[in-house]
Amino acid sequence: MNSIIRFLVLSQIYVSLCVAALALSTQLIISSFNLDVVIFLFFATFISYNFQKIVSLKRNPDRARGWFLNNKKFIYFFLLCSLIIAINLFLGFNYKTQFLIIIISFISLMYPFGLRTVPYIKVFIIALVWCVSTELITVFENKLVIETELLMSIFSRFFFIVSITIPFDIRDIEFDFTELKTLPIVFGVKKSKQIALVMLYAYVLIEVLRHLVFTENWQALVAAFLCCLYTQYLIKGSDNKKSGFYYVFWVESSSLSVLFFLIITSIFL
């Protein structure tokens, strides 16, 4: 089991599942489904994260030893398959969706080429890309009208992604350059965790307001509270002494928890 989990994490399949799960959770909440979008995001995320990994390893060849080198054939083969599937799905989307995908793809491709080094905005770039991918692509492709309730959903997702991205900067505090100016470098680990928690509570607050003002969706509201409790525990446990596995598996699992708790609450409530 450990070897399977390690394979899923290091191959970037796990994070791809997390993005796809967030997109599916959005579709459950807004009751507008599009399986092509979910599948596309899985393969597009796999391409994006492995592309960034390959660029990083090209710059630091010594780091290529180990797992990636031993599994390089699989990664490149699955990348080719992912590219074929993603392009095929992309061509079937409407023009607005395609334009949106091109924009976030450009941001993702530029991320390892200096965009991540822009002071203060690293965490917000990641949150923006994940938010647009898991919320707006479905909205654009299903031709939904962007009204206040939908905007609240988008903002709550943005705050949630920021909250679970900050712990990764805490993990990297010893390796990031001081000039990078991530939140933990500027404010320290303790205050960064507090900022992450504020973002997480903002996510829940928006969900409460959306429930009170627009539509009574007890399943989504309870799911948001359960997700908050789970994610809060993971954020509080974050520090630069934790193993990398704590972040790439457990903190990342908070994305999966959104869908998990939505399914649980829809069954029992």
- Give the whole-angstrom CA distance, residue 269 versus residue 11: 36
- Give the whole-angstrom CA distance, residue 13 versus residue 76: 13
The per-residue pLDDT of the chain, averaged, comes to 90
Instruction: Give the pLDDT confidence of 25-65 residue by residue, as tens digits.
Output: 999 999 999 999 999 999 999 999 999 888 877 776 655 45
Mean pLDDT of 219-240: 94
User: Could you write out the DSSP letters of every residue in the chain?
Assistant: -HHHHHHHHHTTHHHHHHHHHHHHHHHHHHT---HHHHHHHHHHHHHHHHHHHHHHHHH-GGGGTTHHHHTHHHHHHHHHHHHHHHHHHHHHS-HHHHHHHHHHHHHHHHGGGTGGGSTTTHHHHHHHHHHIIIIIHHHHHTT----HHHHHHHHHHHHHHHHHHHHHHHHTTTTS-GGG--HHHHH-HHHHHHHHHHHHHHHHHHHHHHHHHT---HHHHHHHHHHHHHHHHHHHT--TTS-HHIIIIIITHHHHHHHHHHHHHHHH-
The residue whose two tokens read 């390893």 is 57
Instruction: Give the pLDDT confidence of 204-224 residue by residue, as tens digits.
Output: 999 999 988 887 788 999 999
* 75 pLDDT more than 70: yes
The residue whose two tokens read 């796809």 is 20
Instruction: Give the pLDDT confidence of 121-135 residue by residue, as tens digits.
Output: 888 899 999 999 999
| pTM, to two decimals | 0.93
In sign, the C-alpha dihedral spanning 2, 40, 260, 211 is: positive
